[in-house]
Structure formats: structure tokens, C-alpha cells
Copies of this chain bind each other. A is one copy, B any other.
Amino acid sequence: MDDTGSEPSEIATAAPAPRAARGTGRRLHGAIAHKLGVAILSGEYAPGDILSGEVAFSESLGVSRSAYREAVQVLTAKGLVESRPKAGTRVLPRDRWNLLDPDVLAWAFTGEPDIGFVRGLFELRAIVEPAAAALAAERRDRADLKIMKDALAAMRRHTLATEAGRAADREFHDAVLRATRNDTLVVLSASIAAAVGWTTQFKQRARALPRNPIPDHVRVYEAIAAGDAAEASAAMRHLVDLALEDTKVAMGR
């Protein structure tokens, strides 16, 4: 799991080649893409803005032009910027951004995420996950149910306060998605879930969970096991609503 999360990433503070101290395994262009991506997502560069030329920018970052260019290619691939000869590299309008790209989501949540954006994300989750639960109820097989059951057991053993517990939570939701036999659903929800995971950190830090989430998960599980699509959808809907409520409280509403 790549933690793009929280290091200061002081690359461009001083001009004289302060070679970015980056954790091993992380490539230089990746670090630059991260830095630029966060800068764009946070609004430091607004849509329509033109970045300084390749030579100037790469020099100010203390890296070669190649590394900088590869970073820009990454941003281009995610729809954040567009480069043209003589015109320079400009930030694209927001509706061209691949907001559902895992990296873009991570960058968006590196800073303080826009409240409206988070709301939209939960709205999408509230649409997709209940529908996925309904499909899962119709298509799950014995293996799917076993994975869900094991994940529930793990959630009971550890609590959501531990990393193991949260991993089990993710595993449960992932099992539900996979049971839909729809790859696009899996990919989409995985991205959202990851992004929502970032907010969970806020939630945890704000206050301990006042409510026991296990019974709600069990309700989803039993509906899926029984093949009751409508009930599975309703139960999952309830789960997402509760998560949204918690996040709202944690983010100062």
C-alpha cells in the first residue's frame, strides 16, 4: 500500500538543488507528480493557469528536465494538465480531471478536502454500494459468504480502533463488491472506499466511535446470505448513511 499521505515533501523550497529526500522505493518523478498533484488539487494552481516552462520549473525543483517531464506525463494521464508546444503546460478545467483516479483522490485528501467534494463522494457511495449489495445477494456463492463471515469475525475480534479491524472492514466490503461479478463496480468502489478511508482517520481522531458497527454489518451479511436483494440494499444503505453521519460530525459538519 503506497502511503502518499503526509510527508511534508519539501522539494522546491530552496533553489540550489535540495535533492528531494524521498523514501526508498519511491521514484523521483512520482514524488514530483505527487507534489504537483497536491498543489493542483488544493487550488494552488487554478484551472487555466500556466506552469512555468520545463527548464525553469525543473531547475527550481532541482531535478532534471526528464524527471519533471515524466511527472507531467502522469498528471496529463490523469487529466489534470495539458501541454502544447509554445503554449506551455496549463491546468485543465475541473471537469476534465479524473476525480475517481485513486491517486487523484489521494492527492485531494492530502490537503484539507473540500466539504462539498466529500459530500459528493458519499452521495456516489450511497448510490453504488447499496446497488452492489443487491447484486451480491443475487450472485454470491458459498466462497463469497465464507470470506464475508471471516471478515466479520475478524472485525469482532479486533475493533475498528485497530488497523487489523479496519482491514477486516475493508475486506468485508471488498468481498461484497467482488460477489457482484462486476469488475467496474469493484474498481469504482475500491477507489471511493480508499478515499473514504482517509476521512476515517479524521473521524477516529475526532472521537472514539460511540456506536457498535458490527450489528449493522451482520444485517448486510445475512441479507446477502439469504439472497434478499432488497433487504441487502436497504441494510447497506443504512451502513453508508451512518458512515456519512459520523464523517459529517468529525469534519465539523
User: Which residues of A are in contact with B by a Cβ distance under 8 Å?
Assistant: 29, 33, 66, 69-70, 73-74, 76-79, 94-95, 97-103, 117, 120-121, 123-124, 127-128, 131-132, 135, 181-188, 190
Of the candidates A29, A99, A127, A135, the one having the most CB atoms from chain B within 10 angstroms of its own CB is: A127
Count chain B CB atoms within 10 A of each CB in A97, A128, A182, A190 and give the residue with the most: A182
Q: Give chain B residues whose Cβ lies under 8 Å from the Cβ of A117.
A: 183-184
For residue A76, which residues in chain B have a CB less than 8 angstroms away from its CB?
A: 74
Q: Is the interface of A mostly helix, strand, loop or mixed?
A: helix
The answer to whether A99 and B29 touch across the interface, beta carbons within 8 angstroms, is: no
Across the interface, A184 reaches (CB within 8 A) one of B121, B132, B186, namely B121
Residues in B with CB closer than 8 Å to A78 are 77
Q: Which residues of B contact A135 (CB under 8 A)?
A: 123
User: Nearest Cβ distance between residue A47 and chain B, in whole angstroms?
Assistant: 13
Cβ–Cβ contact A120 & B182, under 8 A: yes
Given the interface pairs A100-B188, A101-B101, the reply to whether A123 lies near B77 with Cβ below 8 Å is no
Known contacts A124-B184, A128-B128; A98 and B102 CB within 8 A of each other: yes
| Neighbouring B residues of A187 by C-beta, 8 Å | 95, 97-100
Closest Cβ of chain B: how far from A99's Cβ, in Å?
5
Shortest beta-carbon contacts, A-B, top 7 = A77-B77, A120-B182, A127-B131, A74-B77, A70-B73, A73-B73, A99-B187
Cα of A201 to Cα of B79 in the assembled complex, Å: 25
Closest to A79 in B: B102
Most chain B CB atoms below 10 A, which of A66, A124, A132, A184: A184
A131 to B124, CA, bound (A): 9
Q: What residues on B are CB-neighbors of A79 within 8 Å?
A: 102
Of B29, B103, B181, the contact of A73 (CB 8 Å cutoff): B29
Complex contacts, A29 vs chain B, CB 8 Å? 73
Bound-state CA distance A188–B125 (Å) is 12
Contacts of A183 in B (CB 8 A): 94-95, 99, 117, 120
Task: Pick 25 A–B contacts, CB within 8 A, sort by A.
Answer: A29-B73, A33-B77, A70-B73, A73-B74, A74-B74, A74-B76, A74-B77, A77-B103, A95-B186, A95-B187, A95-B190, A98-B98, A99-B183, A117-B184, A120-B181, A123-B135, A123-B182, A123-B184, A124-B185, A124-B188, A127-B127, A127-B128, A127-B131, A128-B128, A188-B188
